Amino acid sequence: MKKTIRLGILGLGRIGIMHAQNILAMPEFEVVMGADPFLTEEREKELLAMGIPACTRDPEDIFSHPDIDAVVICSTTDTHSEFIIRAARAGKDIFCEKPIDHDVGRILEAIRAVNEAKVILQVGFMHRFDRHHGALAEVLHSGQLGAVEVVKITSRDPAPPSMEYIRTSGGIFVDFMIHDFDMARFLTQSEAVGVFATGTTVCDPEIAEQGDFGSGHAIVKFANGTIAVLESTRRATFGHDQRIEALGSKGLVTDDNVYDSNIHVYNDECCYHTARIPWHFQGRYKEAYLVELQAFAKAVLERAESPVNGWDGLQAVLIAEAAARSAKSGKYELVETIEI
């Protein structure tokens, strides 16, 4: 029989609620308590009705709870590293939304706390758990296409976020392209050596005023010789454009967009694919958000290495930082090398 993992959820905003709904439907987990500093009485009632048995404003109630085995951190980014450290010291396994932190020093502290406590940490790079991206990875890692030479990832949001969001986001490379830095590492199975990055501001002049890009582009070189060519764009009017392709010495594998349905309409104008590609990342990666938690449950129950651990979380941030530097310097920038 499966052992149930008793969970505390930290942060019950949009993403926290989404994880909570998945968790409540999964047999591997039992939710013990949720914590959110912005909890109102009304909100608490909703959460109880949803099935979260207890709520608190104080995260310490979770860290000190004797019946909680693991935590799911969905709070704001500036709390991630601190919560990881507190959870680790309390001996609890950790699932943490990306990124661990914007500051490399704090990421390292968090990783060290995890390592000392021998708890499991998984970072929320859900793209790795998408069925389509996973099928591409499987083909690539099987070796049937020979050595991987070029990886290309196109990631586009349907519409830019608010300027408030842009202002505190850390910039397009740290905030948005970080998923693809992680994906490129996953696909190449190698570490990034250096990166050239730049961007365009045609998408929205206000973004430019914030010193950020509407469309970010990066060329990343990996230790094994592979090149990754990445694009993250804030505005693609047709939906959440998510495509990957990889060229190997023996062939190519592509991973196209997903459509709401398979129908095509032909009329006196042309042929349509009337179904849309999903509009939001929540829709596009709905299944992946579930599968990453199943992977976390598996790692916890088997006391196995997490499929996306602290090292992975660190590397993605290091590449993003090199990309941000490159976009300023106009030069190819080396990715910082850190030993833990």
Closer residue to a copy of itself in complex, CB, 110/246: 246
Closest distance of CB 215 from a copy of itself, Å? 6
Give the chain's largest Cα–Cα span: 67
Pairing of strands 55-56, 29-35: parallel
Closest distance of CB 289 from a copy of itself, Å? 17
Closer residue to a copy of itself in complex, CB, 40/329: 329
Closer residue to a copy of itself in complex, CB, 106/273: 273
State the DSSP string of 5-57. Answer: EEEEEE--SHHHHHHHHHHHT-TTEEEEEEE-TT--HHHHHHHHHHT---EES
Closest distance of CB 106 from a copy of itself, Å? 30
Closer residue to a copy of itself in complex, CB, 107/322: 322
Distance CA 157, CA 4 (A): 36
Closer residue to a copy of itself in complex, CB, 96/218: 218
Rounded to 5°, the CA angle 155-157-161 comes to 135
Closest distance of CB 109 from a copy of itself, Å? 33
Closer residue to a copy of itself in complex, CB, 101/241: 241
Closest distance of CB 124 from a copy of itself, Å? 22
Closest distance of CB 315 from a copy of itself, Å? 20
Closer residue to a copy of itself in complex, CB, 96/183: 183
Show the tokens assigned to 102.
């914007």
> Do 106 and 78 meet the contact criterion of CB atoms below 8 Å apart?
no
Cβ-Cβ contacts under 8 Å for 323 (sequence gap 6 or more): 173, 177, 181, 195, 197, 216, 218, 220, 333
DSSP state of 97: P
- Calculate Rg over the CA atoms of the chain: 21
Closest distance of CB 23 from a copy of itself, Å? 15
> Do 335 and 319 meet the contact criterion of CB atoms below 8 Å apart?
yes
State the DSSP string of 282-316. Answer: HHHTHHHHHHHHHHHHHHHHHTPPPSS-HHHHHHH
